[in-house]
Structure 1
Amino acid sequence: MRLQFILSEIGIGLRRNLSMAVSVILVTFVSLTFVGAAGLLQLQIDAMKDDWYDRVEVTIYLCPEESDAATCAAGETTEEQTTALWDELNSEALDPYVAEAFYESQEDAFAAFQERFADEWWAQGLTADQMQASFRVSLVDPAQYQVVADMFTGRQGVEDVRDPRAVVEPLILVMNRLSLVAAGIAGVMLLAAVLLITTTIRLSAMSRRRETGIMRLVGASNLFIQLPFMLEGAIAATIGAALSVAGLWFGVHYLVEDWLAQSIQFIPYVGTDEVWLLAPALVGIAILLATISSVVTLSRYTKV
Structure 2
Amino acid sequence: MNLSTIKYFFKETFHALVRNSWLSLSSIGIVTVSLIILGASLLLVVNGEKLTNSVESSVEITAFLEEKVGKAERGTIEEKIKADPKVEAVEFIPKEQALQDMKKSFGDRAELLESMEESNPLPDSFRIKTKEANAVPVVAKALEKVEGVEQVRYGQGVVEKLLTITRWVRLASVVTLTLLTLAAGFLIATTIRMSVYARRREIGIMKTLGATNWFVRFPFVMEGIVLGLIGGLLAVLVVDLGYLSLIKKLQVSLPFIQLMNDQKTLLNILGSMIGLGVLIGALGSWFSLRRFLKV
**What's the TM-score, normalizing by structure 1?**
0.72
| Match among 78, 100, 113 for residue 111 of structure 1 | 100
Q: 1:147 to 1:200 in 2, by over 3 A?
A: same
Q: Which residue of 2 aligns with 1:224?
A: 215
Report matched runs for 1:120-269 at 5 Å.
123=109, 126-127=112-113, 129=116, 133=123, 135-139=125-129, 141-143=131-133, 144-153=135-144, 158-162=150-154, 166=160, 169=163, 172-173=166-167, 175-176=169-170, 177-178=172-173, 180-203=175-198, 205-206=199-200, 208-209=202-203, 213=205, 215-216=206-207, 218-256=209-247, 258-260=248-250, 263-264=254-255, 267=258, 269=260
> Distance in 1 between the 2:121 and 2:161 partners?
22
| Match among 15, 18, 21 for residue 18 of structure 2 | 15
Amino acid at match of 1:37: A
**Cα pair 1:60 1:160 within 8 Å, conserved:** yes
Farther-moved stretch of structure 1 (51-60 vs 8-17) = 51-60
Q: 1:272 to 1:10 in 2, by over 3 A?
A: same
> Distance in 1 between the 2:181 and 2:139 partners?
42
Report matched runs for 1:23-38 at 5 Å.
23-38=26-41
Deviations 1:13-61 (CA, angstroms, capped at 9, x unpaired): 2234322222222222222233333443444455556666555531125
Q: CA deviation at 1:174?
A: 5.6
> Distance in 1 between the 2:121 and 2:229 partners?
61
SS of 1:80's equivalent in the other structure is coil
**Cα pair 2:82 2:90 within 8 Å, conserved:** no
**Cα pair 2:104 2:110 within 8 Å, conserved:** no
Q: CA deviation at 1:183?
A: 3.7
| Match among 80, 84, 93 for residue 68 of structure 2 | 80
Q: Which residue of 2 aligns with 1:75?
A: none
| Divergent runs of 4+, >6 A | 82-85, 154-157
Percent identical among aligned pairs is 19
Unaligned runs of 5+ in 2: none
Q: Which residue of 2 aligns with 1:284?
A: 275
Unaligned runs of 5+ in 1: 63-77
**Cα pair 1:104 1:133 within 8 Å, conserved:** yes
Q: 1:160 to 1:138 in 2, by over 3 A?
A: closer
Q: 1:285 to 1:266 in 2, by over 3 A?
A: closer
SS of 2:211's equivalent in the other structure is coil
Q: How many residues align?
A: 280
**Cα pair 1:101 1:138 within 8 Å, conserved:** yes
Q: 1:149 to 1:242 in 2, by over 3 A?
A: same
SS of 1:127's equivalent in the other structure is helix
| Match among 57, 77, 80 for residue 89 of structure 1 | 77
SS of 2:289's equivalent in the other structure is helix
Deviations 1:246-265 (CA, angstroms, capped at 9, x unpaired): 22322332223x34456445
Q: CA deviation at 1:84?
A: 9.1
CA RMSD of aligned residues (A): 3.8
Q: 1:88 to 1:30 in 2, by over 3 A?
A: farther
Q: CA deviation at 1:165?
A: 5.3
Q: 1:254 to 1:268 in 2, by over 3 A?
A: closer
Q: CA deviation at 1:150?
A: 0.9
**What's the TM-score, normalizing by structure 2?**
0.74
**Cα pair 1:201 1:233 within 8 Å, conserved:** no
> Distance in 1 between the 2:23 and 2:112 partners?
69
> Distance in 1 between the 2:23 and 2:140 partners?
61
Deviations 1:121-165 (CA, angstroms, capped at 9, x unpaired): xx4674265985462323462454344301233789734421695
